C-alpha cells in the first residue's frame, strides 16, 4: 500500500514523556537509529513497530500526524477488534514488545532508559493491526489524566536498581513540571534508576520453570524469613525480596513467546487481562461480589510448582485463548484462571478433583472496596483537627513525631504522590495490578487521603498533617484504571510490603458484601464467620503469620456495613489490628463494623485531610480510622522498633479510652507512648506475683469474712 496516514494527535491533550530533559517523541531520529542497529536481534515481522511522527501546526496548536508503510491492507485499531482477532493481535503486540526488551537487554543504561520511555502505547486505541503486524502511534506519551503508558517488560535487575535508588521521590503530576508544550516529567527517580516511572510491565507471558530457575539462585525462602536486620528491623539487606521480585517480574529472562512461537504449553501471562465491569456480579450465595470469569487457583501439595500445574492444565485444556493462566506467584503458589463466565461454576467444582495431585484449592476472585463514606493551617481549626485531639496526638508528639527509619506502607486504590502532604516521603512505590512502578491518583482520592492521614507532612505551611509526619511512605497501588480492586492484586501488594521493608502496613479496604449479609441477625453473622470463606481465611492467616515473623504490623479497616468484623476472611487473623470507627461523642459510628474482633477504635467521622490536586476534604469511614491507628503504630515503633504486633495491640488496648459501643478501646497515643511496659520475663514475674496477691486476698476474705 505504501505509506498511509493512521491518525492525528493534538498534543495539548497529552503528556509527553521526558528522558534526560527532552520529550522522547522529539528524539525520533535517535530512537530509530538505536533500534536500527539492533534490528538483527528483532524478528523481521516486528520491525517498524513505531509509527513515524510528523509535527504540524505551531506551539499553541501543535499536532502529530502518524504514518506507516508496513501494512498491505487497511489496518484496524486494536480497540475495535474482538474475539479471536483481538486475542491474536494483542498477543502479537505483547510478543513484539518482549522482542524489543530482549534486544535491548544488554544495552547501556542511558540507551535503555530512552528506549523504555519511547516504546510504549497510551491505549489500545493507539495500536493499529493488519497482516499479522502491529504499529504503535502515540508512543512516548499518554492522555492527560490517564495512567502512565504501557511498554516493554521490565527486567529484574532494572527493577531492583530502581528499588535501591537513593532518590525514590517521584513527580507525576503535571502541575509542577508542565511547560508550554505540555510536557510532563516522568523520569525523576534518581541517577541510578535505569527504567524510570514510564517503563511499565506489560501483559506478557512466562514459564514458571524459568521463574524457579532464577529464584533458586537466592538463598531466601518462605520458611526462613523470621530474622530481621539488627540495626533497624527491616529487610533491606535480606535477599528474600529478590526472590519475590524474581517471581513477579521475571520478564527480562522470558523468551519471546505467546502464540506458540518458541514457547512451551505451560506459558503463563505475567499480568491478568483487564476486568470487564459487566463480569462483576453478586455471588450465587448472595454473600459477596466476585469477578464472574475469574478463579484463583492455589497449589497446596509440596514438591510441585506452578509450571508443573500449568503443563498438566494445558494437557486437559489446551485452548490458551479461552482458558488464560496469568499473574503467577511462587510464594503461595497461586495463579489466576480467566475463563468463560458460563463455565466458572463448573470449573470451581471440578478442578480440585481433576488436579488432586496438586492439592488444588479454587477460590473466587473477590472484589474489594474502599472502607469509606464519601462525604498545618487547618490544625488551628478544632473541627478539622478533632481526631488529633481525641487521640492525644499533640501530646504524643512531645515524645516523637516519628522516625525516617520507620516505613508505613499504604495499600490502596491510587495516590497523588505530588501532593504537598506526601512530597519527600516516598520509598519503594509499586503498582501491584500492573507489576510496575507507575503509581497514579485514583478518581476517588481515597488512597491519597488515607496516606496523608497516616504520615502526611507537618510544618509545611499548608493543609494539615498526618499522625506520624516524620515517617516514610511506601505507596502500593491495587486499583486498576477503572478503580477495581481484587484479591489477586491485594495478595501481591501484601507480599510486596512484607518483602520490601515495611514496618507498618495500612489496608483501608475490604470485601464487598451483598445485602443479605449486611442485614442478617448477629447470630447468623457469627455462623457465617465461623463457616464461610475458610479457604481464603487460611491464605490470609498464612500471609499475616509471615508478616508477624518479620515484625511487620498490619492495620486493617473494620468495614462499613454495620455488621460483625471478621465476616471478611482477611480480618480473622490474630496477627493484625482491626479498627472500628467512632464519632466525636465516642459512640460507634453508625456505619462501622463492630464486635469481639474489633481490636481498637479511632475517629472515623469528618476526617479532614488531603485529596489529589493539592486539595483537602472531609471523609468518613473505617478507612479513615485505620490510618490514624497505623500512624500511631508508626509512632510507637519509632520509639521502640522491636515492638511486635501483639505488643502494639496490647498497649493500644490497655491505654485506650473506653467506648460505650461494641467496639475496641479508642486509641490514646500519648498514653501509649508513655506507658511503662516490660519484657516477657519481667511480665511473667509480675503476673506470678499478682496471682500470689490475689490468692492471699482471697484467703484473708475467707478467714475474716466480716472485715473484707
Report the candidate in 551, 560, 556 with the shortest Cα–Cα distance to residue 569: 556
Q: Say which of 186, 435, 446, 449 is annotated catalytic.
A: 446
In a domain, 522, yes or no: no
Q: Which helix (H) or strand (E) holds 630?
A: helix 622-639
Burial of 70 (0-12, 13-18, 19+ CB in 10 A): buried
Residue of 122, 155, 573, 623 with catalytic role: 623
Angle (CA) 446-420-618 rounded to 5° is 40
Looking at the structure, do residues 548 and 568 belong to the same domain, yes or no? yes
Looking at the fold, whether 104 and 225 belong to one and the same domain comes out as no
Catalytic site includes residue 446:
yes
Cell of 519: 442485614
Residue 516 placed within a domain = no
Can you give the pLDDT at residue 575?
A: 96
CA angle at 432 for the pair 578 and 458, rounded to the nearest 5°: 60
Both 97 and 226 in a single domain? no
Residue among 101, 110, 209, 112 at smallest CA distance from 153: 101
Integer Cα distance of 26 and 638 in angstroms: 47
Choose the final residue of a domain: 365, 394, 426. 365
Same structural domain for residues 29 and 147? yes
Phi, psi of 617 (to 5 degrees): -160, 170
The active-site residue out of 158, 307, 329, 412 is: 412
pLDDT at position 681:
60
The CATH number covering residue 390 comes to 3.40.50.200
Q: Which residues of the chain have pLDDT under 50?
A: 155-266, 372-378, 678
| Residues 569 and 507 occupy one common structural domain | yes
pLDDT in tens, 394-417: 989 989 999 999 999 999 999 999
C-alpha to C-alpha distance for 674 and 661, rounded to whole angstroms: 26
419 as an active site residue: the answer is: no
Matching residue, cell 472484589:
367
At 263 the pLDDT is 30
* Number of Cβ atoms within 10 Å of the Cβ of 405: 17
Query: What 3 state SS string does 511-566 have?
Result: ECECHHHHCCCHHHHHHHHHHCCHHHHHHHHHHHHHHHHCCCEEEEECCCCCCECC
When computed from its CA atoms, the radius of gyration of the chain, rounded to whole angstroms, is 27
Q: Are residues 172 and 212 in the same domain?
A: no
Is residue 523 one of the residues assigned to a domain? no
Residue 521 lies in a domain: no
Within a 13 Å sphere around the CA of 357, how many CA atoms are in the beta-carbon half? 9
Is residue 180 domain-resident?
A: yes
- What are the helix (H) ranges across 198-239? 208-215
In a domain, residue 258? The reply is: yes
Same domain, 72 and 218: no
Can you give the three-state secondary structure of 320-359, one letter per residue?
Answer: CCCCEEEEEECCCCEEEEECCHHHHHHHHHHHHHHCHHHC
Burial annotation 492-514 (CB, 10 A radius, 16+ → b, else e):
bbbbbbbbbbbbbbbbbbbbbbe
Q: 703 lies in which domain range?
A: 678-708
Domain count, the chain: 4
- The rounded distance, in Å, linking the Cα atoms of 437 and 435 is 7
Last residue of one domain, picked from the residues 152, 186, 202: 202
8-state DSSP, 157: H
Q: Which of 133, 154, 148, 276 is nearest to 204 (CA)?
A: 154
**Which of 184, 202, 220 lies at the terminal end of a domain, its last residue?**
202
In angstroms, the CA 89 to CA 86 distance is 5
Q: Return the DSSP state at 46.
A: G
- Statement to judge: residues 410 and 552 lie in one domain: yes
In a domain, 170, yes or no: yes
CA 530 to chain centre: 29
Q: How far is CA 632 from CA 586, 636, 668, in A?
A: 18, 6, 9
**Residue 70 counted as domain residue:** yes
Q: What is the distance between the alpha carbons of residues 125 and 136, in angstroms, rounded to a whole number?
A: 9
- For residue 293, the SS3 value is strand
Amino acid at each position: 500500500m505504501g505509506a498511509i496516514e493512521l491518525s492525528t494527535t493534538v498534543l495539548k491533550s497529552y503528556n509527553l514523556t521526558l528522558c534526560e530533559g527532552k520529550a522522547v517523541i522529539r528524539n525520533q531520529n535517535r530512537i530509530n537509529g538505536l533500534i536500527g542497529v539492533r534490528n538483527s536481534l528483532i524478528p523481521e515481522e516486528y520491525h517498524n513497530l513505531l509509527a513515524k511522527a510528523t509535527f504540524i501546526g505551531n506551539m499553541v496548536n501543535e499536532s502529530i500526524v502518524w504514518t506507516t508503510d508496513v501494512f498491505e491492507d487497511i489496518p484496524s485499531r486494536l480497540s475495535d477488534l474482538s474475539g479471536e482477532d483481538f486475542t491474536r493481535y494483542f498477543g502479537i503486540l505483547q510478543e513484539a514488545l518482549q522482542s524489543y526488551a530482549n534486544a535491548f537487554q544488554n544495552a547501556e543504561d542511558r540507551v535503555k532508559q530512552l528506549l523504555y520511555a519511547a516504546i510504549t502505547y497510551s491505549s489500545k486505541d493507539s495500536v493499529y493491526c493488519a497482516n499479522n503486524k502491529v504499529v504503535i502511534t502515540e508512543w512516548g506519551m499518554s492522555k492527560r489524566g490517564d495512567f502512565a503508558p504501557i511498554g516493554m517488560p521490565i527486567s529484574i535487575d532494572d527493577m531492583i536498581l530502581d528499588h535501591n535508588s537513593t532518590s525514590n521521590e517521584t513527580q507525576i503530576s503535571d502541575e509542577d513540571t508542565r511547560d508550554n508544550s505540555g510536557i510532563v516529567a516522568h523520569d525523576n527517580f534518581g541517577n541510578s534508576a535505569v527504567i524510570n516511572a514510564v517503563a511499565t510491565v506489560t501483559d506478557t507471558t512466562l514459564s514458571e520453570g524459568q521463574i524457579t530457575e532464577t529464584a533458586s539462585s537466592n538463598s531466601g525462602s518462605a520458611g526462613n524469613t523470621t530474622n530481621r536486620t539488627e540495626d533497624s528491623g527491616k529487610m533491606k539487606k535480606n535477599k528474600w525480596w529478590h526472590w519475590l521480585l524474581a517471581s513477579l517480574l521475571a520478564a527480562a529472562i522470558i523468551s519471546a513467546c505467546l502464540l506458540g512461537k518458541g514457547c512451551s504449553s505451560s506459558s503463563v501471562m505475567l499480568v491478568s487481562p483487564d476486568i470487564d465491569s459487566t463480569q462483576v456480579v453478586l455471588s450465587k450465595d448472595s454473600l459477596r461480589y466476585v469477578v464472574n470469569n475469574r478463579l484463583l487457583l492455589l497449589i497446596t501439595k509440596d514438591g510441585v510448582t506452578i509450571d508443573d500445574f500449568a503443563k498438566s492444565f494445558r494437557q486437559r485444556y489446551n485452548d490458551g485463548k479461552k482458558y488464560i493462566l496469568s499473574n503467577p506467584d511462587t510464594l503461595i503458589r497461586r495463579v489466576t484462571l480467566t475463563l468463560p463466565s458460563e463455565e466458572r461454576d463448573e470449573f470451581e467444582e471440578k478442578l480440585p478433583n481433576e488436579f488432586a495431585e496438586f492439592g488444588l484449592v479454587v477460590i473466587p476472585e473477590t472484589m474489594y472496596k474502599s472502607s469509606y463514606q464519601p462525604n498545618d493551617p487547618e490544625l488551628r481549626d478544632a473541627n478539622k483537627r478533632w481526631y488529633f485531639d481525641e487521640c492525644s496526638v499533640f501530646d504524643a508528639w512531645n515524645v516523637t513525631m516519628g522516625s525516617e527509619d520507620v516505613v508505613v506502607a499504604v495499600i490502596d486504590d491510587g495516590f497523588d504522590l505530588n501532593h504537598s502532604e506526601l512530597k519527600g516521603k516516598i520509598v519503594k512505590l509499586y503498582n501491584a495490578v500492573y507489576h510496575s512502578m507507575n503509581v497514579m491518583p485514583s478518581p476517588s482520592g481515597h488512597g491519597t487521603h488515607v496516606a496523608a492521614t497516616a504520615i502526611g507532612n507537618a510544618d509545611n505551611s499548608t493543609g494539615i498533617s498526618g499522625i506520624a509526619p516524620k515517617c516514610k511512605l511506601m505507596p502500593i497501588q491495587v486499583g486498576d484504571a477503572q478503580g477495581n480492586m481484587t484479591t489477586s492484586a491485594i495478595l501481591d501488594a501484601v507480599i510486596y510490603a512484607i518483602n520490601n521493608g515495611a514496618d507498618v502496613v495500612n489496608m483501608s479496604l475490604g470485601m464487598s458484601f451483598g445485602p443479605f449479609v449486611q442485614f442478617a441477625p448477629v447470630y447468623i453473622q457469627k455462623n457465617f464467620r465461623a463457616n464461610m470463606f475458610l479457604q481464603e481465611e487460611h491464605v490470609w492467616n498464612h500471609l499475616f503469620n509471615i508478616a508477624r515473623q518479620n515484625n511487620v504490623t498490619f492495620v486493617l479497616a473494620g468495614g462499613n456495613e454495620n455488621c460483625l468484623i471478621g465476616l471478611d476472611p482477611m480480618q480473622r487473623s490474630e496477627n493484625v489490628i482491626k479498627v472500628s470507627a467512632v464519632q466525636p461523642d465516642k459512640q460507634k459510628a453508625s456505619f462501622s463494623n463492630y464486635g469481639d474482633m474489633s481490636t481498637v477504635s479511632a475517629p472515623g467521622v469528618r476526617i479532614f485531610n488531603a485529596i489529589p490536586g493539592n486539595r483537602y476534604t472531609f471523609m468518613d469511614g473505617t478507612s479513615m480510622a485505620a490510618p490514624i491507628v497505623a500512624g500511631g503504630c508508626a509512632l510507637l515503633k519509632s520509639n521502640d522498633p522491636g515492638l511486635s504486633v501483639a505488643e502494639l495491640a496490647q498497649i493500644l488496648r490497655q491505654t485506650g479510652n473506653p467506648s460505650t459501643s461494641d467496639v475496641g478501646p479508642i486509641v490514646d497515643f500519648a498514653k501509649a507512648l508513655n506507658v511503662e511496659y516490660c519484657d516477657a520475663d519481667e511480665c511473667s514475674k509480675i503476673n506470678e506475683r499478682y496471682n500470689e496477691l490475689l490468692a492471699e486476698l482471697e484467703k484473708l476474705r475467707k478467714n475474716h469474712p466480716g472485715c473484707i
